[in-house]
A and B are shown apart, each in its own frame.
Chain A
Amino acid sequence: MDMKNCEFKNAIHVSNVVKKYNSFELNINELCIPEGLATALIGENGAGKSTFLNIISGTRLDYKGTVNFFEDEEAFKGIGQDKKNRGNIDPFLKTTEKLRERIGFTSPNDFFLPEWTVKQVKDASKLLFSNFDEEKYDRIVSDLDIPVDKIGKKWKKVSELSDGNKMKLELATVLARDTDILILDEPASPLDPLMRDTLCDMIQSYIESKPGKRSVFFSTHNIADMEKITDYAIIMHKGGVIEQGFTEDLKEKYIMVKGDEKVISELKPLMIGSHESSMGIEGLVLSENRDKCEAMGAVCEVPTLTEISVSLMKQRSKVRI
């Protein structure tokens, strides 16, 4: 796909990204992530979400392909997976310095050095990013109620924080910077329901602070919690993209159909990832089959993003009970 083929102004445009790791292969020919909106990356465990986010955040370099940012303004290029021809990675880091300043990335695993104290995180951030605002960081840390106080004379270590507080600290470091895109890997997973709601508000206000300019791309398993802020969704399976689109478009593309036990055999072939019980059958169906379903007396409803995602994943998943 040419850049022109992106139907919208894109924050990220991925071209021919291939990465192999043992038996897993991430293979994304073309993918556009819209600018100025919140995009969710959805997929079952092992689908390649974290690998993909690591690649587009520039924290993994061993892949083939290109990740363009902000309408081709800047790019990360993979250095391939051939260990012998890899060479020095310093030029890759130097040429992407500006771009890395514009990206805020969080990840649930191995993010900060475990022996760092909360104070060292702030000191490190000041040195690592020229756009880090110390006062804003302190304000966010206080607003999010992250326990940073000294215990006696010792500062609290990152390793002593709960998973939820670690994630809040990560969010504080990226939100305290003047970035153009946030790439968040599973930000909601370690958070409590209240904080998930706050996270949605934070993402919304980040985007609204510079309308049309700031984008957020996050992976999540908590689709229901994050649905209210999701403008665009990408569903991954086994290293590839199986569905993508604006949330409203996806809700028009599919319908959720419920039929009683008499129509199971007729409805089942139309369904994507169906669920059967003694009461009947329920599953996702393409909207173009609405008339057929209604003719069978089935109830058609607008699906939630969770239902769309789960049905598409269920159709392909090897997980069976």
Chain B
Amino acid sequence: MKKNIFREYSIFTSPLYRLVMWLLIPGCQIGGAFVMKDNLDILRNVGLPQDDFATGMIVFAILLPAVLSVFIEPLSDIFFMKSVERKKIGGMVYLNSSSKGRGFFESAVIIDALRKLLVNGSIFLVMYFGLFDGLNLDICRYVTIFITLLGFLCLGLYLSRMGGTFMISVMSSLLLLYVYAGYIIVSFMLPGWVDVLAIVLSCVIIVFYFFDIHKKLERSYFDE
């Protein structure tokens, strides 16, 4: 890993952004989930219902604070990569005049992507051991829901950047939040191959998202 990668990241993010996105929001998400902890004791005694739809509803309800990341992340992105717009990235001339500029920008993108993975992964882990403990939740299904969350996050970020305005970010993120919520609820009713498809699609979206940023950075060296 590059020596200055975190310093480079700090150039692109304000201390407030780092405080909010690394600590405050994840803290609220975990805290919000644990507010429901007491209500889960009854459920823990009887286990998850046999009905797949009801199971989906309960899992969704428990995961709700974590699921909100689908809405929060694209909006917070406005304070991070505001300049990554439709075709290319504005304000790159100074970075491009140095041979380190592009790597510099990519480092920031990578660190923030790691944050998304680490923070949301940690929330899911804490929730699995802290809330779903004793509920006999299928771990494979749980991992699928997490990977799908990352897919939805990347899709939300892509749509938000493509739209370019705050309102479009809000609308697209909200729409994706509903779709993702719907997916969690019905996922327990769907056959196994849908999980595989969801994982594959999510991976494709994640790869496409990073490929798109890479291409946009490259395009800043070209007039097209």
Smallest CB gap from B84: residue in A = A113
Rounded to whole angstroms, the CA-CA distance of A93 and B11 in the bound complex is: 21
The verdict on B134 contacting chain A, using a C-beta distance below 8 Å, is no
Residues of A within 8 A of B7 (CB): 123, 127
Q: Output the least CB separation between B4 and chain A (Å).
A: 6
Complex Cα distance, B94 from A59, in Å, reads 9
Task: Decide: A110 near B101, CB < 8 A? Known: A62-B221, A62-B224, A115-B82.
Answer: no
Query: What separation, in Å, do the CA atoms of A21 and B221 have in the docked complex?
Result: 14
- Given contacts A124-B11, A127-B7, whether A107 and B93 have CB atoms under 8 Å apart is yes
Q: A107-B93, A127-B4, A128-B104 are in contact. Are A93 and B223 (CB under 8 A)?
A: no
**B161 to chain A: closest CB distance in Å?**
14
Minimum Cβ distance to chain B for residue A319 (Å)? 24
Known: A62-B223, A93-B102. Is A109-B218 also a contact (CB below 8 A)?
no
User: B102 — which chain A residues lie within 8 A by C-beta?
Assistant: 89, 93
Q: Is A97 an interface residue (CB 8 A)?
A: yes
Would B101 and A128 count as touching, CB distance under 8 A? yes
* Complexed CA–CA distance, A57 and B92 (Å): 13
CB of B222 within 8 A of chain A?
yes
| With A97-B99, A100-B98, A115-B83 as contacts: A120 and B11 at CB distance below 8 Å | yes
Most buried by A among B7, B82, B100: B100
Q: B99 and A59: CB pair below 8 A?
A: no
On whether the beta carbons of B83 and A58 are closer than 8 Å, the reply is: no
Q: Shortest Cβ distance from B116 into chain A, in angstroms?
A: 19
Q: Are A110 and B92 in contact (CB under 8 A)?
A: yes
A21–chain B nearest beta-carbon distance, Å: 5
**A297 within 8 Å of B (CB atoms):** no
Closest residue of chain B to A183 (Cβ to Cβ) is B97
> Which of B10, B79, B90, B222 has the most C-beta atoms of chain A within 10 angstroms of its own C-beta?
B222
Contact at B99–A111, with CB atoms within 8 Å? no
Q: Is A60 an interface residue (CB 8 A)?
A: yes
Which residues, 111 to 162 on A, are CB-close (under 8 Å) to B?
A: 111-117, 120, 123-124, 127-129
Which chain B residue has the least Cβ–Cβ distance from A22?
B223
Contact of B223 among A21, A97, A101 (CB under 8 A): A21
A residues near B (Cβ < 8 Å) are 19, 21, 51, 57-62, 83, 89, 93-94, 96-97, 100-101, 103, 105, 107, 109-117, 120, 123-124, 127-129, 170, 173
Offer 12 A-B interface pairs, CB within 8 angstroms, sorted by A.
A51-B223, A57-B97, A62-B223, A62-B224, A89-B102, A94-B99, A111-B94, A113-B90, A114-B90, A120-B12, A123-B11, A173-B94
Q: List the 7 shortest-distance A-B pairs measured between CB atoms, nearest first.
A: A113-B91, A128-B98, A97-B99, A62-B222, A59-B96, A93-B99, A105-B97
